[in-house]
Chain A
Amino acid sequence: MGEEVKVIVFALAHEEYGVEVEKVRTIERMQPMTRVPKTPEFVKGVINLRGVVTPVIDLRGRFGFPESEYTDNTRIIIVAVKDIEVGLIVDSANDVIDVDTDCIDDPPEIVGGIKAKYLRGIAKITDERLLILLNLEEVLNKSEIIQLESLEE
C-alpha cells in the first residue's frame, strides 16, 4: 500500500482528469474575462481574482481539443505551480478523491491525443474508472508557448 494523494477530479472532453489538491488554489465559476491581444488562441484572457490579475487558459485548447461552448458546469480551476498562477477552464469539476500512489501507472504514449509529457500517470480507481493525472509543470510550460507563438508568426 503506497501513500495516498488527494486529487481534484475534473472532466474534459469526456475523460476524467486529476490534479493534486495542493496545487489547486480555488475553483471558480465562469466569469467575464479581459482578452489579452496577441496571445495564443487558448489564452482566454485575464480575470480579477480577488484583486490579483490571473491569466486563464482553456485546457481544451491547450491540448488541441475542439473548444466547446461554456455551460453552467464549466469551471475555472486556479492552480499554482512554483510562482505561476493560472486558471484552467474545464468542462466541470466535481470530485475530490484519494488515490493510492501504487495504483498510478506510467502514462502510455498517447492518451486521448494528449502528448505523454503532459501526463504524470494514469490512476486506476476501479476497473472501469481511469483517472488521467496531469503534469502541471509541463502543461504550464512557458517555453512551449513561446514556441507556439513563433510558429503562428
Chain B
Amino acid sequence: MELNQYLSMFIDESREHLQAMNDNLLSLESSPEDVSIVHNIFRSAHTLKGMSATMGFEDLASLTHEMENVLDLVRNHKLKMDSFIFDWIFKSLDALEAMVEDIIQGGTGKLDVTAIVAALKSIVSGDYLKGGAAAAESGSASAKQGAAKEPLLDEFQLSIIQQSIEAGMMVCLIEVSVREDCVLKAARAYMVFNALEQHGEVIKSTPSVEDIEQERFDRSFSVFFVSGTDKETLEKQVSSVSEIEKATVTLVDQAKLDELMNPPAAPAQQEVAAASAVAEAPPEPAKPASQAEAKKPAAGNAPVSNRTIRVDIERLDTLMNLFSELLIDRVRLEQLASEVKRSDLTETVEHMTRVSSDLQNIVLKLRMVPIDTVFNRFPRMIRDVAKTLDKKVDLVITGADTELDRTVIDEIGDPLVHLLRNSVDHGVEPRADRIEAGKSETGTINLRAYHSGNHVFIEIEDDGRGINRDKVLSIAMKNGIVTQDQASKMSDEEVYLLLFASGFSTADKISDISGRGVGLDVVKTKIESLGGVVEVSSKWGKGSKFSVQLPLTLSIISAMLIRLSQEKYAIPLSSIVETSAIKTDQVRVVHGNPMIHYRNSVIPLVSLGKLFDVPNTEDATEGEIQIVVIRKGEKLAALIVDEFIGQQEIVLKSLGKYLTNLFAVSGATILGDGQVALIIDTNALIK
C-alpha cells in the first residue's frame, strides 16, 4: 500500500520519540515536580499516537492513548507521579518499543498489552490507591473525549491571539478543505500543518489536531494561525499541498475575534465553553505559562529545521566504495607520475592528492554518528539493573557528542552494555557496604567518550570496590588459566586482563545481571574484532576503570606495505611497534626457537615467508635482516620481512564469503597497480 513510503520515516521518528520519552521520563524521575518535562513527554506521546494511528497501527495508538491520559492528568496537576506510575509508564514504553521493533521486522506491531492498559486505566481512574479523586478525573477525561463540542477558543488561546494582535503579528483564520476523492485525509492535513509550521504557529484547530490525525473530520478543518508571513504566501503554501481543494485565509483582527467568540447563533455551546473554561482555568495557573514556554523553542526552531537531511545508509556505503576506487586510482597515478617525471603532471597529481584527502575526510565524516545514539539507552538500563540489585547508581555521561564511524557504532553497543552491567553488578558495592566504607550510598559510574588521534576512547569508571588482585589470581589458577609461577610474575594490569579470559568469573554467586563468566571474554573478542583494545586499571577499595580504545573508522586504515620474496602484504600500522634491521648474529636460539633481544626483553622472531609458505623463501644467514616488531596487548614479536615498501592509506576489502577462517589474514586491499595485497592479522601471529 502507498503508506509504505512513509514507513521508514515513521520508524525513525517513532524511535526518536520513544527515546525522547525515555530520556524525559528519567529526568522526571529525578525531579518529579517539573511539569515542563511532563509536557515534553506528553507531546512526544501525542505525536507518536497520531503517527501510528495514521499508519494504521491501532495497538500502538491505543496504548499511547492510555499513556497520554495518565500524562494529561499529571500535567494538569491532578495526579502526582509516584514509583507505581513510573514503573507502569516505563513498562508501556518497553511495550511500545517492542511494537515498533515488530513493525521494523515487518510485523503488524500487534502486542497484547491488556495488563498495561488495565494498569494505566486504574491510574487514570485513581483506583490503584485513592478512590476519591476518581470521579473528578474521569469527568475531565470524558470532557476531553467530547472535544468536538469544545468552544471555539479557550481562554489561553484567546489571550495568545489577543496579544499577537496587539504585538502587530498577523493572526488569521485559515479554512482548508480537502478534495472529495482524497485517500489520506489525515496525511494531507498533516502536510498542511507542516507547511504552516514553517511560517508561524498554529494556535488552535477545529476539529482538534488529534481528531484530524485520526481522520475524524469531514472534508474541511480550520486553524487559527499566528505568523509574520503575508496572507497570499500562506494561501499559496497551503494550496500547494496536493489534493487540497481550497484554502481561504481570513485575517483576524480584534473585531473579527469578538464576532467569532460570540456567535449569536450558538449560545448554548458558548455556555458550555465558559463553564469548562472556568472549570479548567483556576486550578492550573501554571499550565498556560509552561505550555507557552515549551512552545517557544519549537517555534524558534522552525525556520532552521531544514539543516539536516536523512540519507539511506546504503547510499553512503556506495559513496564510500566509489571513493575507495578513486583512492586506488590516486595511488596508481602517483606511481605513474613519479615514473614519468613531468613536473606539471606531478603538480596536478599532488593537487589531486590534496583534494582527495580532503574528500576522504568529508566522506568519512558523513558516516560519523555521535556515540550518543549508543549511550542514550544506558541511563535507562542502569536504572533498571540498579533497581533489580537494590543499589543506587548515578550514571554520568560525558562526551556523548563524540563521533564514530557508523559501522563501529553498530557493533559497540553490546560490549558496552556488558561492561556497564558488570560495573553495576561487581563494581558498585551494595548500599550497606558503601556506607560502611565511608562512601556515599549512591555509587557513581562515569561513562566517558573522547577523541585522541585516530582513535576514540570510551571509559567506564566506577567508584566501587575495585578489583581484588589475589582473588582474580586464585580463581585464574583454579580454572587453570595461569600457573602459580606465571601468577607471581604478573603485573597488576596483566592480572586484571585475566578477567577477559574465557570461562572466568569472580562473582561468588551467579546473578541475572552478570557473573556467568561468558561476558567479558566476548567483550574482548568483539572489541578486538573492531580493531580496538581494552585496558583495565583499578584501585582496591576505590574503584576500577575499563578503557576501550577504538579506531575511528573500519574502512580505511594506515598500513605498512612489505615484500616477502615476490609477494606483497600489508601490516596495519596500529599493531606495529617498530621497524628495524638487525644483524643475523644477534638472533639467539632458545628451545629451538629463534629469539631476539628487544628493549630489555627477549621476543620471538618469526619468519613470515616460511609461515606463509611463500615460494623462494631463503633464510639470510649473514648480514642484516629486516624486522617488524608487532604487538598484541603487552606481548611483542618480531617478523622477518624481505623489504619495506612504505606506509600507505589502504582501503579494507573483504575476501568474500568463500574464503573464511583464513590463517593470519584479516582482509585484502587493492594496491595502486591493481594487484591485491593481503592484510596480515598480527593478532593471530602472537599466541
Contacts and interface: CB of A to CB of B under 8 A. Distances in A.
Nearest to B665: A36
Interface in A63-87: 83-86
A142 interface: yes
A46 B676 contact: yes
Contacts of B661: 146, 149
B324 A53 contact: no
Contacts of B668: 34, 46, 53
A84 B678 contact: no
A32 B566 CA distance: 12
Interface stretch (A7-15, A37-45, A96-104, A109-117): A37-45
Interface in B652-681: 653-665, 668, 670, 674-678
A35 interface: yes
B479 interface: no
A121 interface: no
Interface in B630-668: 653-665, 668
A142 B659 CA distance: 8
A140 interface: yes
Interface in A50-67: 51-55
Interface residues of A, number: 26
B325 interface: yes
Nearest to A31: B674
Contacts of A55: 655-656, 658-659
Report which residue of A32, A38, A85 has the largest number of chain B beta carbons within 10 angstroms of its beta carbon. A38
A85 B613 contact: no
B663 A38 contact: yes
Given A46-B676, A51-B325, A34 B567 contact: yes
B20 interface: no
B567 A35 contact: yes
Contact of B660 (A38, A140, A142): A142
Contact of A85 (B656, B663, B670): B656
A5 B554 CA distance: 43
A71 B447 CA distance: 62
Contact of A53 (B567, B613, B614, B654): B654
B625 interface: no
A133 interface: no
A53 B662 contact: no
Contacts of A39: 659, 662
B257 interface: no
A119 interface: no
A10 B328 CA distance: 33
Given A35-B567, A37-B613, A46-B668, A53 B675 contact: no
A67 to B, nearest CB: 16
Given A51-B328, A51-B670, A52-B653, A34 B658 contact: no
Nearest to A83: B657
A26 interface: no
A53 B670 contact: yes
A142 B655 CA distance: 14
B662 A51 contact: no
Contacts of B653: 52-53
A37 B685 CA distance: 14
A55 B678 CA distance: 12
Given A45-B676, A51-B670, A54-B656, 9 more contacts: A34-B675, A35-B614, A37-B612, A38-B662, A48-B676, A53-B656, A55-B655, A83-B657, A149-B661
Interface of B: 321, 324-325, 328, 567, 611-614, 653-665, 668, 670, 674-678
18 contacts: A34-B675, A36-B659, A36-B678, A37-B612, A37-B613, A37-B665, A37-B678, A38-B662, A38-B663, A39-B659, A46-B668, A46-B676, A48-B676, A83-B657, A84-B657, A84-B658, A85-B657, A149-B661
> Which 10 pairs between the two chains have the least Cβ-Cβ distance?
A37-B612, A38-B663, A34-B676, A53-B668, A53-B653, A84-B657, A55-B658, A86-B658, A55-B659, A46-B676
